Amino acid sequence: MDKVLVTGGAGFIGSNLVDVLIKKGVDVVIIDNLSTGKLKNINPKANFLKYDLSTIDISELINILDGVEFIFHLAALARVQPSIEDPIPYHHANVTSTLNILYAASKSKVKRIIYSASSSCYGDSDKVPQAEDDETNPLSPYGLQKYIGEQYCSMFSQVYNLDTVSLRYFNVYGERMNLDGAYCLVTGIFARQMLNNQPLTITNDGNQRRDFTYVGDVVDANILAAQHPANLNGMVFNIGNGQNFSINNVADMFGGDKQYGEKRLEPFETLADNSKAKKILKWTPKGDLKKWIKNYKIELGI
């Protein structure tokens, strides 16, 4: 890899990916509109461009892609609940932006797009663990939008001969995760509440289980997907740890008082069958949620 574009490179996962790529000597261009990304996350050695991919002029985007070999498309408006409350801006950010980047890439000499998909496409699946060929049943506009992005990637591979690969992330945690807002991931919510000496608020009964995946493992999966020697032609991979915990378990790892109350429509259990990524991408997750939370608490002083 000589030159790449990372969309959403000021965000949680994107900025971690950028840092690793730059350490490897890769020339990195970042596109981010800073709607959720942060300037402080941007590696000073990257070339940062502030654009909204849902409204960018396509000819300008094609010019930006001059010399770019790989695109890591992470830019998105994430989180399920706010997409239910206000789906239209989420559609523009998650679908229109993806179509624009795919179309511009098809007009350039980009070798492959690595698309950040979501395990939310499975919805409330009765089958555990979830495998890539299982039925999809998104329960939110966000889940559907991210799945539409996968379908666009597959179609561009078949119709436009643009090599693509989609990585379905399962509940990513780690350095630079968002602690702000009511709808950040539960690990971020619990950390913020501990910092503010508040009880840990748990939706439903807390027995719902999630597969938590370390951000460093997600970064590794992206790089391995880019470096894979054969065309991937729209293939989809689960990127999950392959182990899950109940929300009550996670609260116990943080150690705060629990508070129950809010009811919310959500999948009861997510668990990745990650055998396909292990076999084809040679990817192995290394993250340990318990150890990470223990160290994170020390770092935050809680």
Residues in the chain: 302
* 3-state SS record for 103-136: HHHHCCCCCEEEEEEEHHHHCCCCCCCECCCCCC
Which of 90, 115, 142, 296 is flagged as catalytic? 142
CB 138 within 8 A of CB 151: no
C-alpha span between 27 and 45 (Å, rounded): 9
Rg, Å, the chain Cα set = 19
11's tokens: 């965000």
Q: Is the peptide bond before 267 cis (omega within 30 degrees of 0)?
A: no
Three-point CA angle 73, 65, 89, nearest 5°: 40
139's tokens: 């329960």
Catalytic residue status for 142: yes
β-partners of residue 235 are 165
Residues serving a catalytic function are 142
